[in-house]
Amino acid sequence: MFFKILEFSVLLCIGHLVYAQVGDRCFFQGRNKEGICKLFHDCRSAEEGARRDIEPTVCGYQRNTIIVCCEDSNRNENYNNYQSHNYSPQTNEDPYRPETSDFIFPDQELPIRDRDPIKENTGSSRISEQKCKEYNKAIVGEVQVLPLVANPQPISIKINKCDHNSVPLIVGGKPAQSGKYPFMAALGFNTDEKWLCGGTLISHRFILTAAHCTSSRSGSPVVVRLGALYLSQETSTSEDYRVADIIVHPNYRYPEKYNDIALIRVERDIKFTKYVRPACLYTKDHISQKAAIATGWGRIDYAGETSDRLLEVNLNIYDNSLCQKAYRNNNGLANGITSTMICAGELKGGKDTCQGDSGGPLVVSDKENQCQFYVVGVTSFGKSCGQVNTPAVYTRVSKYVSWIEKHVWNNA
């Protein structure tokens, strides 16, 4: 992580120091050029400049966030999207991956807290949150701004340093860019159709996946591939790791759908690169984002073939009551859809995870650094892929963080 203190002068008006507000006109310091005041993280040119150690012209501050003079071309949007004093950005069967029939093997309600690890900037108390910061040092930079005023208080700005920013975009999915999802894992079995499930890299040794992915007609996973874009190709960016141990959640009971979560430990430490890096665990029960991204090499439709290239799809997160209706006659759900599950998909149909995507991640990204991902769910089960009014169901990671920490980081 880089750390730098920059001294900025703010706008002057009629000889007095003033703070301009979002949407106001401004002039760049030392240049006869006009701009529009924006929050730092809404100004692409200021962020790119900060990465090259170019000091932005500061308009002012709002709730401990810096407002900069921005030269982005879409100036007219600023007057429409910002208010002077109150900024508010616009912001049939279970065929799952592989098919349930290929796999052989009382829910506790927990309170939902209205807190979000992405929004909070408090000291990390959980080992998983500490590791999240450690693993993401390579992509999270920080600049501290020190305004030239009496008794200045430094303001920290996080800057992303990766090549790919997530864009809310498998069934209805789009090809992913190389290195965009460096936590994505493929689970290999001793079979002709080798890559049957997905997973999420979460540490130097562990991959998070679905419990139903750990035992099949072809046995258990024997290898994990990381850093891959195309599964048919072994490239300089990808590497295979032999499976050393599989830890299934103790309360998973096939064919029930509850507690569908497991950990895979590989034989040796995983080398982190631009193409291989862990995702963070989402530790809070309430998910503030309304949409998430699923990734995988699964089927592109219910009767179709699996994808050789990694795909991404943007899915809406729905209230669990929608999935409660869709799966009310499922034999594996004696207690219905519970708080340990997430309901996500597209009610219009056409976007979904499918066979071969099981065990893979459902993620959200940090609004202030969209290179940093948090895994909120594990792809678990669904109906015919992309069906109208039938979201899929994902295991809610936040309900299992303590169990994951105990095994991954020996945090009892």
Residue 321 backbone dihedrals phi, psi, to 5 degrees: -65, -30
Catalytically active residues, by annotation: 212, 260, 358
Torsion of CA 304, 306, 307, 311, to 10 degrees: 90
Sign of the alpha-carbon torsion through 266, 376, 124, 366: positive
Q: Which residues contact 125 (CB under 8 A, 6 or more apart)?
A: none
**100 and 255 in contact (C-beta within 8 Å)?**
yes
Distance CA 315, CA 394 (A): 12
Residue ranges in 288-332 assigned as alpha helix (H): 320-326
Cβ-count burial 67-83 (b if 16+ within 10 Å, e if not): bbbbbeeeeeebeebbe
- Sign of the dihedral defined by the CA atoms of residues 384, 385, 389, 390, in that order: positive
Residue type (1 letter), 402: S
Q: What is the CA radius of gyration of the chain?
A: 23
- Contact, 72 vs 39, CB < 8 A? no
| Whole-angstrom distance, CA of residue 28 vs CA of residue 86 | 24
User: Hey, which bits of 125-284 come out as E strands?
Assistant: 140-147, 155-160, 174-175, 184-188, 195-201, 206-209, 223-226, 239-248, 262-266, 280-281
CA distance 249 to 213: 12
